[in-house]
Amino acid sequence: MLSWVLSAIVVISMPIVLLLLNVRLLMNDWFIRLEYARPDFPTDLYGMSQEERLSLALTGLRSVTQPPGASILREVRFADGRPAFNEREIRHMQDVYVLQGLAFRVGGILALALLGAWLCLWFSPGTRTLAWRSLGWGGWFTLGLVLLLTLGFALAFDTAFTLFHRLFFEGDTWLFPPSDTLIRLYPEKFWFDAALFIGGLTLLEAAVLVLVTQGRPAS
């Protein structure tokens, strides 16, 4: 009975751990620079230069990934001296800072639980085969779940994007007019590409898990 509980921990934790791992991989300067370097990345409708836009976008990223959080945005200015972010935007970015911190702490706990459960299965000769099978089942579970999520974002991005924000943020605190800085820095295409990157990489990782565990010997 215990071995099947451990197996379930491996299988159920797998998609969450892989998704959060890939989200963290994406939340770095390289992805923003890559997006801004794309020839089809939308230009700013209000005339901000690409250099200033990129600089502000990188600052926005740091405000949700590094202490002290979004409070640093109160000091950020446009080239003409005007505040770059309003209080509503700063509050939302602080919400993102808190959410990502919580999400990655949960992800870390699940990763440790997954690893611990798998090692318990692997170190016992009687459950070593189940250990490898659990990785494969976790890969299949991840493939099915993430494929559904990725297709949902690809086919109905606006609906999926709205559902995500309504699930994790209060009321309409995440809605901004096109003239607000956050929309100008991170247009819809940015989020569409991010969703496809996270979903695609997770699918690839899950497929590799399935392949390497197929026909794995018991010892």
Q: Tell me what pLDDT residue 173 has.
A: 85
Measured distance CA(168)–CA(105) in Å, rounded: 16
Residue whose pair of structure tokens reads 């700063």 in the numeric block: 90
Q: Is the pLDDT of residue 73 over 90?
A: yes
Give the closest residue to 56 by CA, choosing from 103, 89, 25, 23.
89
Which sequence spans correspond to the domains of the chain?
2-44+104-213
Burial 11-26, CB ≥16 within 10 A → b, else e: bbbbbbbbbbbbbeeb
Residue 41 has pLDDT above 90, yes or no: yes
Does 219 score more than 70 pLDDT? no
Residue 216 banded pLDDT, cuts 50, 70, 90: low
Looking at residue 214, its pLDDT comes to 85
Reported in sequence order, the residue ranges of 141-182 that DSSP labels E, i.e. its strands, are: none
Are 6 and 121 a contacting pair, CB within 8 Å? yes
- How far is the C-alpha of 106 from the C-alpha of 109, rounded, in Å? 5
Mean pLDDT of the chain: 93
Contact 53, 36 (CB under 8 A): yes
Tokens at 78, concatenated: 């446009």
Tens-digit pLDDT profile for residues 151-184: 888 888 889 888 988 888 888 888 999 999 999 9
